Amino acid sequence: MTNTRLAARREHLHGTFHRDNPPVLTVESGAVVDFETLEVGWRTERVLPERELACIPSRGELDDGPALTGPVAVRQARPGQTLEVRMLELVTEDWGWTSAHLPEGSAGLFWDIQDGIATNQLGHRVEVTPFLGTVGIASRDRERRPGWWPHPRTGGNLDCNLLGAGSSLFLPVEVEGALLSVGDGHAAQGDGEVSGTAIECPMRSARLQLVLHDHLVQRPRALVNGRWVTFGLAESLDEAARMAVEEMVDLMQVEMALRRPEALALASSLVDLRVTQVVNPLKGIHAILKTSLINEGA
């Protein structure tokens, strides 16, 4: 099993998803890639109040989005397969920031991260539960997609705080090589990401294993602590909820050998809906199957 380090250097960074983005690395299925990521705003040094910060220079349209490391191509990945992204280990840098903006004013929190705790300048302490806000692959669509926009099929800026170390994200492959890009590290985030930012931080190390499967999922889904999670992404939370439930019912039909009405009825007892985020151009809802005993039946 290979293990390759991909540093957050200019030649490895971009801000958009597109099928024509050239891969900066090509690996075999099963390879482990150790991604380094910048914080979301392309800054290369600690964010502090009233300090002019160095940023990676923009190349225009290609960088129209959060700082992403990649793309990484998986050799022999082709449409009709699924790419599993296993989150093996996620290590933040030692700083982060959060902001909020209202008509009556703005606020910035600046965090020091040590020993699993983030502490801001006001003395608030938050347990660190790191994850990558953006994990996605290229879609078959012709238009270039800014990294701020999650894609209903191929992922991207999901901002789901369940995708920490030990979880797996499954994405449907739509282009040759899949073209995985990651970034937007978060040290901690509540459901909804209500101010528009989490504890935004660089990732010193995001060790991900990339595994191809011959079966196809239609939309992003995750496996977290043995429990399935499905996602809906849409302009309204109502539509996002419908998508997340439909995907979960699809999964339960297959895994539990149920008719669709039976799967929906059972989901009403076993599935929780949560708001993933309300701040991106497409809002997110995720559905969680509360039990791993999905193969049990009469």
Report the CATH number at residue 201: 2.60.120.580
Asked, for residue 294, whether it belongs to a domain, the answer is no
pLDDT in tens, 178-236: 999 999 999 999 999 999 999 999 999 999 999 999 989 999 999 999 999 999 999 99
Instruction: Give per-residue burial for 185-211: e unless 16+ CB within 10 Å, then b.
Output: bbbbbebbbeeebbbbbbbbebbbbbb
Helix axes 237-256, 260-270, angle to 10 degrees: 110
Kind plus residue range of the DSSP H or E element containing 267: helix 260-270
The count of residues in the chain is 298
pTM for the whole structure? 0.95
Same-domain status, 51 and 194: yes
Higher-confidence position of 251 and 2: 251
Same-domain status, 253 and 123: no
Kind plus residue range of the DSSP H or E element containing 266: helix 260-270
Domain boundary among the residues 153, 180, 213 is at: 213
Cα separation, 126 vs 132, in Å, equals 17
CB 13 within 8 A of CB 38: yes
Same-domain status, 203 and 244: no
Same-domain status, 271 and 155: no
Cα separation, 174 vs 235, in Å, equals 23
Asked, for residue 11, whether it belongs to a domain, the answer is yes
Same-domain status, 160 and 266: no
Asked, for residue 219, whether it belongs to a domain, the answer is no
Q: Is the pLDDT of residue 58 over 90?
A: no
Same-domain status, 17 and 121: yes
Q: Considering only CA atoms, which of 14, 46, 4, 62 is closest in space to residue 206?
A: 4
Same-domain status, 85 and 209: yes
Same-domain status, 186 and 51: yes
Whichever domain contains 285, its CATH number is 3.10.28.20
And the tokens for 223? 């496996």
Same-domain status, 148 and 96: yes
**Based on the structure, what is the number of domains in the chain?**
2
Same-domain status, 202 and 239: no
And the tokens for 114? 């040590």
What does the pLDDT average to over 248-276? Answer: 96
Same-domain status, 204 and 247: no
Asked, for residue 154, whether it belongs to a domain, the answer is yes
Distances (CA, A) of 125 to 48, 121, 132, 184: 18, 10, 21, 21
Angle at 23 between CA 60 and CA 152, to 5 degrees: 75
What does the pLDDT average to over 261-270? Answer: 96
Asked, for residue 296, whether it belongs to a domain, the answer is no
Asked, for residue 295, whether it belongs to a domain, the answer is no
Question: 3 - beta bridge partners?
Answer: 32
Q: Where are the alpha helices (DSSP H) in 78-159?
A: none
Q: Is the pLDDT of residue 297 over 70?
A: no
3-state secondary structure of 207: strand
Query: Residue 133: which domain range?
Result: 3-213
pLDDT in tens, 106-156: 999 999 999 999 999 999 999 999 999 999 999 999 999 988 889 999 999
Q: Considering only CA atoms, which of 195, 172, 187 is closest in space to residue 83?
A: 172
Per-residue confidence (pLDDT) for residue 298, from 0 to 100: 42
- Those residues whose C-beta lies under 8 Å from the C-beta of residue 151, and which sit 6 or more positions away, are 17, 136, 139, 145, 233
3-state secondary structure of 174: coil
Asked, for residue 207, whether it belongs to a domain, the answer is yes
Domain boundary among the residues 159, 193, 213 is at: 213
Same-domain status, 263 and 202: no
